[in-house]
């Protein structure tokens, strides 16, 4: 059985990078993992949904949502608010 989402990523090193693979079974887990990759400046090689590569619009949408999740984490920590409040005040993903 295929995982619903497959993410290929690499950790940048001066002498090259090995591709790693992560599986997620729902879009929220996928976006959370992508937010972690963005946070640590990892290179996102590709995202597949049920074995099919995401096309530009859908790929970009997942990255945009993950960036919103990452921003929400930072805002929540900086302001001492929860994700619901961040969503209400700043229109970020909850």
In a domain, 82, yes or no: no
In a domain, 83, yes or no: no
User: What percent of the chain is modeled with pLDDT above 70?
Assistant: 98
- Total number of domains in the chain: 1
In a domain, 93, yes or no: no
pLDDT, mean of residues 30-36: 96
State the residue for tokens 């090259």.
16
Query: What domain range is 56 assigned to?
Result: 5-66
In a domain, 29, yes or no: yes
pLDDT tens-digit readout, 49-64? 999 999 889 999 999 9
What is the three-class DSSP state of 11? coil
In a domain, 84, yes or no: no
In a domain, 10, yes or no: yes
- Answer whether residue 18 shows pLDDT above 90: no
Q: What per-residue confidence (pLDDT) applies to 94?
A: 73
> H or E stretch including 46?
strand 43-49
In a domain, 58, yes or no: yes
Q: What per-residue confidence (pLDDT) applies to 38?
A: 97
Pairing of strands 5-10, 19-24: antiparallel
> H or E stretch including 12?
none
In a domain, 72, yes or no: no
- Answer whether residue 3 shows pLDDT above 90: no
Count of alpha carbons within 13 angstroms of residue 67, beta-carbon side: 8
In this prediction, residue 2 has a pLDDT band, given cuts at 50, 70 and 90, of: low
What is the three-class DSSP state of 92? coil
């Amino acid at each position: 059985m295929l995982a619903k989402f497959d993410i290929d990523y690499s950790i940048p090193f001066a002498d090259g990078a090995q591709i790693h693979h992560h599986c997620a079974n729902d879009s929220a887990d996928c976006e959370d993992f992508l937010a972690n990759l963005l946070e640590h400046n990892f290179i996102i090689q590709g995202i597949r949904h049920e074995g099919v590569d995401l096309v530009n619009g859908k790929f970009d949408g997942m990255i945009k949502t993950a960036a919103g999740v990452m921003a929400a984490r930072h805002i929540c920590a900086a302001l001492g608010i929860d994700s619901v409040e961040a969503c209400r005040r700043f229109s970020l993903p909850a």
